[in-house]
Structure 1
């Protein structure tokens, strides 16, 4: 019923989008107008949150025969593009481009962004299968077919988790897009992303960056080192002991005192943590739970009464203080604990953006044990207003919630957190602190420092009500930006002339050029053998010695790969190149964010400008 043909992919900027896209032609056959509308309607009825307002209006205003602007092919193309894009971004991803139009011969041309091209192809093909499974019945999709679609989506989302940017990178990408900051993978198919170009770039892995020192990462990555540094800096921290075997638990608990906490040394996000342990039997359960995450030594630490606070420090200054509350439900006198959890989870989906980064609460052994400590079970019906704790730890990743309390924090805590981050050499960090009163200093006996995080979850800030753009902007800082680039487009015959001039001149060490898959920065020639023009240009842009650059493409390279940069200071196009390029490609070049508009220059003038560049 659907034949799909992949005709091209653009890793650079094209007339279709300002991000990498694939281009496909889809030929529907054997579908009548009314059937197409019903299939689209059924598909979005099962996934209503993926439906845009525009498409929703199209579907609710179905007519037979439909008006020209709502033709079956147009609606089908919009549905395919929109549903595929939503599926790709549901769990992880920051793909913006998706669209469709109808060719003169009635086929549907679809363009779709990608982080990993095979994942986007898989999603597109899944959408076509889903349309077939959606059926044309006014009763909607059958239960059996819904299950098949959901199963295939879950398989896709596993690929997205492996190949798409994580949610923290997404927050930074969103801010970078709004601020006009370019970004690219620093290492392909990894979690390392570069924001900015050349001397104005910084590389991030989650919220950590190459601005953080190696020692800082080592110290903060070790819970023991963090606590030792607290002591060396004169900051209070709970007593602790390390255990390797279950037989050591009782002695450790007696030395640190009851109640206590047990946790792995090498895990974050609350994994393996059990807190407020009152007796040896519960401590043993906590030991076995922690062992699911680590075979190394475990930390038994004195439990400190009070609320859990994350003090976020960015660029040496406290940006926010968040109270983190463990997952809990409040009784209504009617529903069981299990039903109340289900109700709470309705707005906590796998789509972290839509759920404001609030995680679903998982019913597992840890939750059951927490209920047992309160002498209740999942079938228990709490009275109206009675609060039931579901976790002992307050991590957002395990269903906890956050509240911004930045305005009521004692000045000593602000100064202490900033001193810790600065001394350890951490640009972005989260300092965990427990106290019964955040408005009092620890010198009054009100609190203690727990640990330092090199990759503090930015989700805790957003789930507490802070604006994602503000959070991303703070982490990126004020120094990340592009570098001045002159983008030159010539005919294939003129490319060798430009290349000869580039190779004849001596560059200063802060200037670079990319042409014919060759790259130089100053006197340094980089190894770009076997790379595409796009990849070669990105190699140059990763070097932080680069302050200024020239990028040269011929028309064939431009139309094959797209422009390798999303912004530049100047665009020069030779008259011979203008003759070859179609109007959409000229429009794309004119649309590059540049200080100067596109200039048409003869090859002689281009050569003169190249000479002046040196």
Structure 2
């Protein structure tokens, strides 16, 4: 582990890396790194007494740990090791991580800890940072500043190396549905759910079967609207402007009120709505121009609420009404107090607490309030609803409501027709209407199409997590038949290629693998890499793995489940704790 800048300690002085398990192991059913702590470091009583300070300083990132319940002061070394590992696990999960495993235990005189990973080097780096934070606390008078800055830096790295929030939602549900998943090498932000022929590739929520042509089209708002218009679907009038000189033409074509937005923008950023004058149009154009690639879209402002319509694999999934965050006055409470109550209500709702955002009391809100001579200390009249933002962005705590059951059938049919015409298997369509229970008219319109739609929107609206993920991954995502044969070390080193394998039968023997008679060349020579190579191939209908006891103990199991396990003869001994693990990983039969 690298030392902190300006620090004289030696790298790796807090612990020694013992194992990087790439699969299920005696500590966890997930891949983990295992370290043994430096006892001289852990046994310092001052460190144990400092744990509460570090917990309180971390409150903005992680939930506080219950020291009375989790830490035993009679064994200072184990208590400190347990705390540092637990704290690191919480930090890893604070920024998009879905790391499930962590723990510490005594191993004779040593304390060993293990922690899961998306990137093993990052998990070790976070452990190192936790240990350095405790050490510095005993002497650094400016510790709080250093700790805040360095932890923020660690979280920034997590944002880069961890799954994006969309993939995290898919992983959580896949885990609950017992669907295996893994990162696709050399394809950032791409994950596979299921094995072999039952695997489903996904980029965030974008499905591999999506048309690349129309995925690119969906990123360009004018092209998308032109395509929808050519199919006879209602869309708002618009005009693309490349300079201020084109604003007069846009004004004549679109009229007021109108909206300005970057042609290639996303998440409703840098969008100006409710424009009713040439001066406002110029200002909106300048705002969008800063974040667009030379073009700004001027669009007719249709009246009504924005709805997200989701179609997945040809089936209509849901309609969600999206309304900017608002408060309703009672004639007594300030806007600040109403926001406090709104946040309490959000936290009391399981779906909104887990997937939603608090309404931020940021400069954007304060500026909007100031334009109307209001502030957070203002008291609104009774029953007066005030929208705190112009746009229904999810990150601004917008109100999301499931309106699938009242959506008019013609709206649903149009959404499914758009998905089919654009050859997109997972699509989110923004549609504006005063009343979604009525058929589309000239006052309604489709605004844009998202080929990687946010799964957060239906989740906050109360659509079941498993329902969304089952729709996205499809019915086929799951495991294929698998067997494991454990052989002696000498036999394992022989690298024999199995005979008479049929097409579709994947095989791994030591550091070689193939499909039927075809031999493959994995990226690296390891049982784990060979297995993953096969599991990524949709031609593989079953997988048979041959490995040795030494390989298992060193690296962990290549898969988390086997239908059948063949154990070695009496000449090869499997350690008892690994025997117990193999029993847990087996769902079928065993040969001894």
TM over 0.5: yes
Taking a change above 3 Å as real, the CA distance of residues 58 and 524 of structure 1, as seen in their structure-2 partners, is closer
Q: Would you say 1:73 and 2:57 are equivalent positions? A: no
Q: Is the 8 A contact 2:56 2:64 kept in 1?
A: no
> Take 1:577 and 1:257, find their aligned partners in 2: how far apart are those partners?
86
Q: Would you say 1:98 and 2:89 are equivalent positions? A: no
Give the match for residue 119 of structure 2. 116
Offset at residue 508 of structure 1 (A): 2.5
Q: Is the 8 A contact 1:204 1:210 kept in 2?
A: yes
Give the match for residue 130 of structure 1. 133
SS across alignment from 2:95: coil
Structure 1 segments unaligned to the other structure (5+ residues): 601-614
Offset at residue 148 of structure 1 (A): 2.6
Deviations 1:72-95 (A, max 9, x none): 333323312211111001011110
Q: TM-score, normalised by structure 2?
A: 0.89
Deviations 1:21-68 (A, max 9, x none): 111111243777864543233333444684588755356xx8xxx5xx
Q: Is the 8 A contact 1:440 1:446 kept in 2?
A: no
Give the match for residue 605 of structure 1. none
> Take 1:26 and 1:317, find their aligned partners in 2: how far apart are those partners?
53
Give the match for residue 608 of structure 1. none
> Take 2:53 and 2:324, find their aligned partners in 1: how far apart are those partners?
39
Q: How does 1:224-239 map to 2 (within 5 A)?
A: 224-239=222-237
Offset at residue 343 of structure 1 (A): 8.5
Taking a change above 3 Å as real, the CA distance of residues 194 and 255 of structure 1, as seen in their structure-2 partners, is same
Taking a change above 3 Å as real, the CA distance of residues 393 and 333 of structure 1, as seen in their structure-2 partners, is same
> Take 1:30 and 1:485, find their aligned partners in 2: how far apart are those partners?
45
SS across alignment from 1:591: helix
Q: Would you say 1:13 and 2:24 are equivalent positions? A: yes
Offset at residue 471 of structure 1 (A): 2.6
> Take 1:431 and 1:80, find their aligned partners in 2: how far apart are those partners?
45
Taking a change above 3 Å as real, the CA distance of residues 452 and 410 of structure 1, as seen in their structure-2 partners, is same
Query: More displaced, 73-82 or 316-325?
Result: 73-82
Give the match for residue 455 of structure 1. 452
Taking a change above 3 Å as real, the CA distance of residues 192 and 249 of structure 1, as seen in their structure-2 partners, is same
Give the match for residue 510 of structure 1. 504
Q: How does 1:365-376 map to 2 (within 5 A)?
A: 367=365, 370-371=368-369, 374-376=371-373
Match of 1:483 among 480, 485, 490: 480
Q: Is the 8 A contact 2:333 2:380 kept in 1?
A: no
Q: Is the 8 A contact 1:358 1:463 kept in 2?
A: no
Deviations 1:461-495 (A, max 9, x none): 12223333333233222211111111112122112
Give the match for residue 88 of structure 1. 92
Q: Is the 8 A contact 1:512 1:540 kept in 2?
A: yes
Give the match for residue 190 of structure 2. 192
Give the match for residue 429 of structure 1. 427
Taking a change above 3 Å as real, the CA distance of residues 212 and 353 of structure 1, as seen in their structure-2 partners, is same
Taking a change above 3 Å as real, the CA distance of residues 339 and 146 of structure 1, as seen in their structure-2 partners, is farther
Q: How does 1:286-325 map to 2 (within 5 A)?
A: 286-325=284-323
Give the match for residue 5 of structure 2. none
Give the match for residue 604 of structure 1. none
Q: Is the 8 A contact 1:88 1:123 kept in 2?
A: yes
Match of 1:584 among 577, 580, 584: 577
Give the match for residue 357 of structure 2. 358
Taking a change above 3 Å as real, the CA distance of residues 534 and 510 of structure 1, as seen in their structure-2 partners, is same
> Take 1:587 and 1:133, find their aligned partners in 2: how far apart are those partners?
41
Give the match for residue 552 of structure 1. 546
Deviations 1:114-144 (A, max 9, x none): 11112111211121133335569xxxx98x5
Deviations 1:375-429 (A, max 9, x none): 3365772424544433322121344231112222111112211221123222221
Give the match for residue 165 of structure 1. 163
Q: Would you say 1:177 and 2:175 are equivalent positions? A: yes
Taking a change above 3 Å as real, the CA distance of residues 566 and 31 of structure 1, as seen in their structure-2 partners, is closer
> Take 2:500 and 2:569, find their aligned partners in 1: how far apart are those partners?
28
> Take 2:247 and 2:360, find their aligned partners in 1: how far apart are those partners?
29
Q: Is the 8 A contact 1:490 1:576 kept in 2?
A: no
SS across alignment from 1:442: coil
Q: Is the 8 A contact 1:341 1:361 kept in 2?
A: no
> Take 2:251 and 2:591, find their aligned partners in 1: how far apart are those partners?
75
Taking a change above 3 Å as real, the CA distance of residues 299 and 133 of structure 1, as seen in their structure-2 partners, is same
Give the match for residue 466 of structure 1. 463
Deviations 1:264-312 (A, max 9, x none): 1222211222222222222222222223322231111100111111011
Q: Is the 8 A contact 1:20 1:114 kept in 2?
A: yes
Match of 1:534 among 528, 533, 537: 528
> Take 2:49 and 2:186, find their aligned partners in 1: how far apart are those partners?
41
Q: Is the 8 A contact 2:258 2:301 kept in 1?
A: yes
Root mean square deviation, CA, Å: 3.1
Q: Would you say 1:500 and 2:496 are equivalent positions? A: yes
Deviations 1:427-470 (A, max 9, x none): 22111111111111114x55211111101101111222333333
SS across alignment from 2:557: coil
Q: How many residues align?
A: 576
SS across alignment from 2:355: coil
Q: Is the 8 A contact 1:42 1:135 kept in 2?
A: no
Q: How does 1:321-470 map to 2 (within 5 A)?
A: 321-330=319-328, 356-358=355-357, 361=360, 363-364=362-363, 367=365, 370-371=368-369, 374-376=371-373, 378=375, 381-385=378-382, 386-443=384-441, 445=442, 447-470=444-467
SS across alignment from 1:22: strand
Taking a change above 3 Å as real, the CA distance of residues 342 and 53 of structure 1, as seen in their structure-2 partners, is closer
Q: Is the 8 A contact 2:55 2:64 kept in 1?
A: no
> Take 2:153 and 2:579, find their aligned partners in 1: how far apart are those partners?
40
Offset at residue 496 of structure 1 (A): 4.9
> Take 1:472 and 1:293, find their aligned partners in 2: how far apart are those partners?
33
Match of 1:571 among 565, 568, 584: 565
